[in-house]
Structure formats: C-alpha cells, structure tokens
Amino acid sequence: MGLQIKGFSICGFCIRPAPEYPINIEYLVVAGGGGGGLNGGGGAGGFRTGVVSVNASNVSTVLPVVVGSGGSGTISFTFGSNGGCSSILGISSAGGGAGGVSSSTNVPGYAGGSGGGGGSTAVPFAPGGAGNFPPTSPSQGNPGGCGCTVGGVGNSGGGGGGAGQTGGTGNVPNSGGFGGNGCISSITGSNIYYAGGGGGYGRTGTGPGGAGIGGLGGGGPGTSTSVPESGWAGNVNTGGGGGAIAVSSCPGGSGGSGIVIVRYPGPQRALGGNAYSCGGNTIHIFRESGNLCFQNDFVEPISYPYPVCYLVVAGGGAGGGGDGEGIS
C-alpha cells in the first residue's frame, strides 16, 4: 500500500525562545508639525534618534507608543496650534511651533521642536519661534525664520524651522522664507527625510509675491496667491510643518502627523505597528499611537496563505505472476 497523507492542519503561530538581553533598540521619534500661520510657516516636529539598551528587568508587557498629530493652521488672525508630541521608551519629541500671524506688534512664531516662522508686522522684523524647545541633546530642531516688512515695498513671513536647518527669513519683495530642511534617517533601510519646515508667504506693495518652498521632509509650501486659498498641509507621518497663507478668511496648512520607528537585531521579538525584517533586523513602524509588546516566549503570527512543502509517494505496482514457462 502506498504512503498516504490523511490530512494535516497548520496552527496560526509559532513560538520562539526568549531573546538574550540586553537588546539594543534603535529609535526614530518624530513629533507632529506645527500649523501654518498668516504669512509664517509652521515649524517641523521634533526629530530624535538614538539607541536604547533594554534589559530583561525593564521590559514591560506593554510599551506605550505615542504618535503626535499635526497642528491646526491659523484662522482669522489667530494663531494655529503646535503639533502633538511623539514618544516611546521615555524618549519624547516636541511638536512643531505654529507659524506667526500678521500683526501690528512684534509677535514671534511659536516655539517647539522646530519653531514657527515669524509673521509680517508693522515693524521691520518679527522673529521666528525658538527651536529645540524644550531643549534636548542632541538638538531636536531649529528656529523659524524671521518675518520681514519694508514700508511701501512689501512684507513676507518667515519659513518654519526644520530638523536640519533654520527656516528662511522672508525676502521682501520677492518671496516668503523657505521652510528649513529636515534630516535623513535610514532606520527603515532607505534614506528618508523627515521633519521639514513649512514655507512662508510673501507680498509686494502691489500684490502677491512668491511662496516660500517647504523644507525637505514633508514641509508644506506657502500659498502663492492673494485670492482665498487654504494653506498646504505638511505630509502625513513626516512631522512636516504646514504652509502659510495670505488671506485671513482661509485656514493655514495643517502640520503633518509624526511617526515612531524602532529597529532591533535578529528575528521579530515583539508585536505592534507594521513589523517587517530588513538586513538582519526587525523594524516596527508606528504611524499612529499604539503599543510595542515584547514577550519572553515570543508568539509570532503566521500570515496566510502559508507555503507547505510536501512529499506524496504512491505504492509500487504488484509483481506479475507466471507458470514458469519461458516465452518462445
């Protein structure tokens, strides 16, 4: 009788033994970008990266992960809001500062991970908001650029600060300040910019000027017209600042939401976020708040369909009978 397989089943998980500790966890924590202002661009969310050594004694069942939302843009001469903070493993990045609004006083953009750009004023310069606030080492961001006014010539807002560059000062009469560029991270296996500042808006004495470009890393550009138009939002999950507007009846660009990414060597040992393997490491990407759960005996879900190797061997044919006589 041949070999027969009556049937089999595949369970939906496999168990790996406890990892050896300490385990080094690399992290990227980017906060939400600040909202764009009336002339001033929103600052980028704070950008923090590094390595934490985790021992078995301090591995919790649940490690909370917070991903900050983007700040709202300005409406009708009122400031928008800063972006939300992002955090994991006690590492927190501050939300980007809201962009400055047009004012008769010297009101700066808001401080934050990176500062919002200054709005245009009746005085020569409106300062950008402070970056790296609250302070961290290394720095999580940069200041916003100054807004600028030249009597009879025009005014323009400053660009929001980026993780890698201070926002540009408004350039009268040509354009609003550029959003500061963000920083590159390769934690996912690819080089990606995060945390760029939002661009400012410029105006000449006779009409609209040029828009400040958004910084590399998701910064929204400033608007380029004086007709009612909403500001450009920072890119989702980059921490980019929102772009500035020129018309008070329209909202400034919202800041881009933040992101949290962790990477550790070897096979997957935890659940949470979007997990995958790359270059001998496991990477977890959190695009929204959640939990990172390490387990001593890690139970790994199996995705289906799951390939199964098999071998089926049939029985051999029976030998032939005979009467002992040869065939002539």
Residue 258 in this model has a pLDDT that exceeds 90: yes
Residue 6 falls inside a structural domain: no
Lowest average pLDDT, out of 50-59, 97-106, 315-324, goes to: 315-324
Q: Which of 46-55, 93-102, 287-296, 297-306 has the lowest mean pLDDT?
A: 297-306
Q: What is the pLDDT of residues 132-163, one digit of tens each?
A: 999 999 999 999 999 987 766 667 899 999 99
Residue 2: its pLDDT value, please? 46
| Number of domains observed in the structure of the chain | 1
pTM: 0.84
Q: For 33-50, what is the mean pLDDT?
A: 96
Return the pLDDT at 312: 60
**pLDDT band per the 50, 70, 90 thresholds, residue 243:** very high
Q: Is residue 132 part of a domain?
A: yes
8 pLDDT band, cuts 50/70/90, is very low
Q: Residue 44's pLDDT is what?
A: 98
279 lies in some domain: yes
What per-residue confidence (pLDDT) applies to 202? 78
- Give yes or no for residue 95 having a pLDDT over 90: yes
Whether 10 is in a domain gets the answer no
Q: Answer yes or no: is 2 within a domain.
A: no
| 191 occurs within a structural domain | yes
- Segment 180-197 mean pLDDT: 97
Confidence of residue 22 (pLDDT cuts 50, 70, 90): confident
Q: Pairing relation of β-strands 290-294 and 63-65?
A: antiparallel
Q: Which residues form the domain of 86?
A: 15-317
What letter represents residue 259's amino acid? I
Residue 74 domain flag? yes
In a domain, 120, yes or no: yes
